Amino acid sequence: MNAEARPEVRLASSSVGALAAMKGVFARDMKVAFRQRQDLLNPLLFFIMVVTLFPLGVSPEVSFLREAGAGILWVAALLSVLLSLDHLFRHDFDDGTLEQLVLQPQPLFLLILAKTIAHWMLTGLPLVVLTPVLGVMVHLDGNSIAVLCLTLLIGTPVLSLIGAIGAALTLGLRSAGVLLSLLIIPLYIPVLIFGTGTVAAAAEGAAVGAYLALLGAFLMLALTLAPFAAAAALKISLSNG
C-alpha cells in the first residue's frame, strides 16, 4: 500500500475540539475506504453467498425459506460484519496511524466511536440496503422485509460496536481472525435473538414496538459503553507491541 493512498490524521493540536476531531477521523476513514473499493464490496458478496448456501444446502422449499429467511439473513449479516471487523483497526495498526490516534489530546473513546460509525456506514448500512433484494429471494412477505430491514438498521450498529471491542483486544495477535470470532459471537447472541424475534412476531401479526424498543436499548447501551471498553482494549494492545 503506498503512502499516497492513506491520508494522514490531521488534527494534531489540542485546539481542535472533540467533535471536530471525530469528524476528521470519520472523514479520513471514509476516504481510505473509498480508495480501496474492493474491500467495501467483499463483505457484501460474502453476505449474498452465505444466504445462497441455505436454499442450496438445506431446502429450496418456499415454506422453509419463509420460516427461516429472517434468521438466515440475520446470521449472514452477523457473519459478514464479523468478517469485516478485522479491517477496523488492522491497517491503522500496521502503519502506525493508530498510535497517532491514541496520542491525540482528544478522548480516545470518541475517536473510536467515530471509527466505528464509519465502519458501520461502510459495512452495516450496505447490508441493510441489500436486504430487501435477498428478502424477496427467500420469499419473505413485504411486511416482514420492512421489519427485517428496521431490525438490521438498529442491530448492525450494535454488532459493529461490540465487534470494536473484540477487534481492539485481538489486535496484532497471531490467528486474530478466529480468536475474534470466538470472543465476539457469544456477545452477539442477544442481538440475534431479538432481531429475529422481532421479525417472527411481525410475521405472526403481533405488535413489534416493544421488540424494537429493546433492540434500541441494546444500541444505546452499546453506544455508551462499548467505545470505553474498546479504548481500554486498544491501549492494552498497543502497549503490547
Partner 1 sequence: MWQFFHKLGSPKWFFGISARFMPWLLAGGVLLLMAGVVWGLAFAPKDYLQGNSYRIIFIHVPTAFMAQSIYIMMASAAVVTLVWRMKLADVFVKAVAPVGLVLTFLALFTGAVWGKPTWGTWWIWDARLTSMLILLFLYGGVIALDRAINDEKSAARAVAVLVLVGVVNIPIIKYSVEWWNTLHQPASFKLTEKPTMPPEMWVPLLLSVLGLYLIFGWLACIRMQTEILSREQRTRWVKEFVMRGRS
Residues that bind partner 1 in the complex, under the rule CB under 8 A:
162, 165, 169-170, 173-175, 179, 182-183, 185-187, 189-190, 193-194, 197, 200, 218, 225, 229, 232-233, 236-237, 239-240
Q: Cβ 30 to partner 1, closest distance in Å?
A: 28
Q: Which region holds residue 124: left if phi is over 0, alpha if psi is between -120 and 50, else beta? A: alpha
Q: Cβ 66 to partner 1, closest distance in Å?
A: 18
Q: Cβ 204 to partner 1, closest distance in Å?
A: 10
Comparing CB distances to partner 1, the nearer of 130 and 234 is: 234
Comparing CB distances to partner 1, the nearer of 33 and 185 is: 185
Max Cα separation, the chain?
A: 61
Provide the 10 A C-beta neighbour count for residue 205: 8
Comparing CB distances to partner 1, the nearer of 32 and 152 is: 152
Q: Which residue has the cell 499516497?
A: 4
Comparing CB distances to partner 1, the nearer of 152 and 168 is: 168
Q: Cβ 80 to partner 1, closest distance in Å?
A: 20
Comparing CB distances to partner 1, the nearer of 21 and 230 is: 230
Comparing CB distances to partner 1, the nearer of 11 and 111 is: 111
Comparing CB distances to partner 1, the nearer of 40 and 201 is: 201
Q: Cβ 136 to partner 1, closest distance in Å?
A: 26
Q: Which region holds residue 205: left if phi is over 0, alpha if psi is between -120 and 50, else beta? A: left
Residue 190, CA atoms < 13 Å, CB-side half-sphere: 12
For residue 136, give every residue at least 6 positions away whose Cβ sits within 8 Å of its Cβ, in sequence order, or none: 145
Q: Cβ 33 to partner 1, closest distance in Å?
A: 26
Q: Cβ 193 to partner 1, closest distance in Å?
A: 5
